[in-house]
Amino acid sequence: MKIVAICGAGVGTSGILKVNAERALARLDIEADVTATDLASLPVAGADAQVILTSPEFVEAIGKTNADVVVVQNYFDVDELEAKLEAALG
């Protein structure tokens, strides 16, 4: 399974999302390849992703995708990520 965390530059927010998504997935006992990337690279990086993690401001820019788009309000809240990933993957 592939999960892609995105932000504008692909460094700060997406990196935080990646680390905390890995923590949430460990709690759920789910194995996945989690990567961080910038919005411009999403068509390539997210082409085979099952889930895209993002913030509200990037949802419209993601465009058409087969992945579940999970909007995260608080990047530091592992409980929020865990609940949203469980809903998307369950």
pLDDT in tens, 42-83: 998 889 999 999 999 999 999 888 999 999 999 899 999 999
Cβ(38)–Cβ(9) below 8 Å: yes
Kindly tell me the sign of the dihedral angle through the C-alpha atoms of 39, 45, 48, 52. negative
The CATH H-level (homologous superfamily) assignment of domain 2-78 is Response regulator (3.40.50.2300)
pLDDT at position 11 is 65
Q: Which tens digit of pLDDT belongs to each residue from 3-21?
A: 999 987 766 888 999 999 9
Q: Helix axis angle, 12-28 relative to 78-89, nearest 10°?
A: 70
4: β partners? 35, 52
30 pLDDT above the threshold of 80: yes
Q: What is the pTM of this model?
A: 0.91
